[in-house]
Amino acid sequence: MAPHVTVYEVGPRDGLQNEPAVLPLEEKLELVAALAAAGLQRIEAGSFVSPRWIPQLADSDRLVESLPPSPELRYVALVPNAPGLARLRRALDQAGANGPAVDAAVFVSASETHNRKNVNKTIDETFAAFDEVVGPALAAGLRVRGYVSTAFGCPYEGPVDPGRVIALAQRLLALGCYQVSLGDTVGLGTPNQVRELLSRLLARTRPEQVALHMHDTRGCALANVLVGLEAGLATFDASIGGLGGCPYAPGASGNLATEDLVHMLLGMGYETGISWERLVDAGALAQRLVGRALPGKALQAELAARTAGRTRSDPLASR
C-alpha cells in the first residue's frame, strides 16, 4: 500500500471556472493561501484559455504572478495553445526567479463530440496544437501535465472505448507529460471499468504517470479512487468543497470534494501532509467566497459538528 498519496487540488481552476460569480483576484489568492496552509502541495490555479471563453479565470496572468511560492508547493495552470503558453511564461517572468513553481497542463477529451464542444477542435487538431505547447514548454524548463477528459463516459457519445483512452494517455506521455490525469468528466465511471482501464494502462506506464480525476456526479467517486489506490496510483484530483464541474458537459456537477477524499485517505492510514482542520477551514472559506453551501459531504458534516460544539470527527480516530 502506498504510504503517501498526493491530493491534487483543482478548486481554484476547475472549481471557480464553473461559478457564476467572478471572484476578485484577492479572494482567489485568499483561497489559494488557505489551501496551501492546509498542506496541499499541488494546486491548479489558473487557465490561459481565451478570457472570452472563461471570464472567471481571465485574470490568470496576474494570479500566476501573485501566487505565493513555497518550497514543496507546485501550482498548475491550463495552457491550451501557443498564445496561452506565452502568457504563462510572461507571468512567470514577471514573478521572477523567486516566484512560484508553476507547471503547465494540456487537455483533450476521449470523445470527439466532447472535445469539439470543449475546444472546437478535433482530437487530432488538439494534438497538433499541443506540438506548439508541450515541446516548447519542456524546452523552457516547465513540467507539463496532461488530461484525458470523458475517459469513463461521454455525455454525448455514451460509453468510451478504454483502448482509445489508453492510446491518448500514451500519446500525451510520449509528448513529454510527466503525468496524465484520467477525467471522469460526468461521473459515469464505476469500479470494474476503472479497474479494467487501469490494469491495461499500467501494463504500459508507471503508476506515478497516472492520476484519477473522478467526479462524484453519481456518488461513485471514492469507490473509483479506492480502485485506483489498489492499482497502485498515488495521485488523485479533487476540488475543495466539491466546487465546480465542466461547463460543456451537461449535468456534470460534482467534482469529488477534497474533504471527502482526504477523510477517506486519512481514515485508511495514508499520509497526505494535509491538516484536516485547516482543510475544513479552506472549505468554509470557499463557501463564504462563492456565497453558497458547497456539496462536499465531509465538509458539511464537519461544519455541523463544529457548530454544535461537538468533538470533531477525526478521520485518524476511525482507522
Q: Measured from the CB atom, is 14 or 259 closer to a copy of itself?
A: 259
Q: Measured from the CB atom, is 193 or 287 closer to a copy of itself?
A: 193
Contact pattern from residue 66 through residue 85 relative to a copy of itself, giving x for each residue in contact according to CB under 8 A and a dash for the rest: --------------------
How far is it, in rounded angstroms, from Cα 197 to Cα 175?
21
Distance of CA 294 to the CA centre of its chain: 17
Please choose, out of 10-18, 97-105, 263-271, 278-286, the segment that lies near a copy of itself by the rule CB under 8 A.
263-271
Contact 99, 69 (CB under 8 A): yes
Nearest 10 degrees: Cα torsion 295, 299, 303, 305: 120
> DSSP E strands: which ranges in 175-216?
179-184, 210-214
Q: Measured from the CB atom, is 125 or 230 closer to a copy of itself?
A: 230
- Closest separation in Å from C-beta 216 to a copy of itself: 6
- Closest separation in Å from C-beta 169 to a copy of itself: 19
Tell me: does residue 251 bind a copy of itself (CB under 8 A): yes
Q: Residue 240: name the closest of 39, 1, 20, 2 by CA.
A: 39
Q: Measured from the CB atom, is 174 or 308 closer to a copy of itself?
A: 308
User: What is the grid cell recorded at 164?
Assistant: 482509445
Q: Which of 154, 177, 220, 246 is flagged as catalytic?
A: 246
**Alpha-carbon dihedral sign for residues 146, 150, 153, 159:** negative
Please choose, out of 53-61, 131-139, 204-212, 311-319, the segment that lies near a copy of itself by the rule CB under 8 A.
311-319
- Closest separation in Å from C-beta 155 to a copy of itself: 7
Can you say whether residue 309 is alpha, beta or left, with left for phi > 0 and alpha for psi between -120 and 50 degrees? left
How far is it, in rounded angstroms, from Cα 314 to Cα 263?
9
Tell me: does residue 110 bind a copy of itself (CB under 8 A): no
Q: Is there a catalytic annotation at residue 220?
A: no
Instruction: Give the bridge partners for 255, in sequence order.
Output: 215
Binding to a copy of itself (CB under 8 A): which residues in 172-231?
A: 186-193, 216-223, 225-227
Could you count the other beta carbons within 10 Å of the beta carbon of residue 52? 7
Question: What is the number of residues in the chain?
Answer: 319
Instruction: Give the bridge partners for 101, in sequence order.
Output: 74
CB within 8 Å of 273: residues ≥ 6 apart: 4, 39, 41, 72
Please choose, out of 25-33, 55-63, 133-141, 155-163, the segment that lies near a copy of itself by the rule CB under 8 A.
155-163
Tell me: does residue 253 bind a copy of itself (CB under 8 A): yes
Tell me: does residue 268 bind a copy of itself (CB under 8 A): yes
Q: Measured from the CB atom, is 90 or 195 closer to a copy of itself?
A: 195
User: What is the grid cell recorded at 92?
Assistant: 512567470
Tell me: does residue 244 bind a copy of itself (CB under 8 A): no
Residues classed as catalytic: 246
What is the binding site for a copy of itself (CB under 8 A)? 152-153, 155, 158-159, 186-193, 216-223, 225-227, 250-251, 253-254, 256-257, 259-260, 263-264, 267-269, 296-298, 300-301, 304-305, 308, 310-311, 313-315, 317-319
